[in-house]
């Protein structure tokens, strides 16, 4: 019997996908691109992709109870379907690489030295274990890590409210400069995090207990992420100002570290590490399962070790050369990646799921 996950687990998983890297890193990059209106840009991207995702999920769930790969094969055939499926797998691998890159950087900042490779191997081994155990264990672990994250965030808010910390100055958010180019570029750098959750939910479709409620809960996760990120972004800018925030690698971390309470940065680290392990497990399982479906391998567990080694090796290879890239290089890479892969293949997916409806309409004429 196929194991299933409930809508609240979908909510936790969607949050795990979007949150870990975004909260720590995006204030810097969005500030560089969009200045003090970065929060607005993020909400625009999240709202647009949330709407598109809801439409595609609705079309997909009405079409069949099978996963994305099976649907695309049935509609397009074996050969044409590869044109769509393979780029989506590449997008998911790209997300793993990006998460790995920022994971290494934030740990180096927190412990104030280059961490040993064994530390990351430990995170990857946990992710591999989760992917081997399957979706039910991943869902339970995501719920647990989501609770840890909520507890950590609550401790930070409580610490902020009781410490008498007066470092925030809302005047630093002004003036708001609305520029079409900065809004578009800032949206592109935000979009791929939201689209990754769409791809995963489409691939996980057979595992969902209640598809209609799962759509609603994934939309709530999108909205909740927007609210939390906007709060983080505004607080970081109101403390550092635009000019300083765009120069600091992880502005929210250093904002929390400035509180007159010892140990809050440890709370951040534990919370972030917990949901990062869950995120790696989600992505590893999804990629491995997608590869097994592409090659008609019934027992996906046979691929856990080789595919995990491949993904991790690529991530380490990219990281070892990432020190050659500047912040502008990362921004350009994210924008190009979104324009070339994420947006086109999302629109292609929507069109693919509309084909059966066009056929029915044509046949009825």
pLDDT digits (tens, 9 = 90+) for 191-245: 877 888 899 999 999 999 888 899 999 999 889 888 888 887 887 788 888 887 7
Residue matched to tokens 């081994």: 125
* Stretch among 12-16, 31-35, 162-166, 171-175 having the lowest mean pLDDT: 162-166
Q: What is the largest CA-CA distance in the chain?
A: 71
DSSP for 132-158 reads HH-HHHHHHHHHHHHHHHHHHHHHHHH
pTM of the shown model: 0.89
Helix (H/G/I), strand (E/B), else coil: 4: coil
Residue 239 CA, distance from chain mean position = 26
Beta bridge partners of 164: none
Residue 318 host element (H or E): helix 304-322
pLDDT digits (tens, 9 = 90+) for 142-195: 888 888 777 777 777 776 666 555 666 777 777 677 778 778 888 888 887 788
């Amino acid at each position: 019997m196929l194991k299933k996950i409930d809508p609240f687990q979908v909510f936790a998983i969607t949050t795990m996908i979007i949150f870990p890297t975004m909260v720590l890193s995006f204030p810097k990059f969005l500030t560089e691109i969009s200045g003090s209106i970065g929060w607005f840009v993020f909400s625009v991207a999240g709202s647009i992709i949330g709407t598109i995702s809801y439409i595609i999920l609705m079309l997909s769930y009405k079409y069949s109870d099978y996963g994305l790969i099976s649907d695309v094969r049935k509609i397009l055939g074996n050969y044409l379907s590869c044109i769509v499926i393979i780029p989506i797998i590449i997008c998911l691998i790209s997300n793993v690489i990006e998460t790995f890159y920022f994971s290494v950087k934030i740990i180096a900042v927190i412990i104030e030295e280059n961490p040993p490779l064994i530390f990351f191997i430990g995170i990857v081994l946990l992710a591999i274990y989760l992917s081997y155990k399957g979706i039910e264990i991943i869902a339970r672990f995501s719920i647990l890590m989501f609770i840890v994250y909520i507890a950590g965030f609550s401790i930070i808010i409580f610490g902020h409210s009781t410490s008498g910390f007066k470092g925030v100055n809302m005047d630093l958010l002004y003036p708001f400069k609305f520029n079409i180019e900065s809004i578009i570029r800032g949206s592109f750098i935000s979009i791929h995090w939201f689209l990754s959750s769409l791809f995963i939910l489409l691939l996980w479709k057979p595992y969902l207990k209640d598809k209609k409620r799962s759509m609603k809960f994934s939309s709530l996760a999108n909205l909740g992420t927007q609210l939390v990120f906007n709060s983080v972004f505004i607080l970081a800018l109101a403390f550092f100002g635009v000019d300083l925030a765009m120069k600091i690698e992880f502005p929210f971390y250093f904002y929390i570290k400035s509180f007159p309470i010892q140990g809050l940065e440890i709370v951040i680290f534990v919370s972030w590490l917990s949901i990062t392990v869950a995120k790696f497990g989600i992505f590893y399982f999804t990629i491995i399962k997608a590869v097994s479906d592409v090659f008609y391998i019934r027992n996906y567990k046979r691929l856990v070790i080789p595919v995990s080694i491949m993904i991790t090796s690529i991530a380490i290879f990219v990281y070892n050369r990432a020190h050659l890239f500047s912040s502008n290089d990362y921004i350009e890479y994210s924008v190009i990646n979104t324009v070339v892969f994420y947006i086109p293949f999302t629109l292609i997916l929507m069109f693919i799921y509309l084909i059966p409806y066009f056929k029915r309409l044509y046949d009825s004429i």
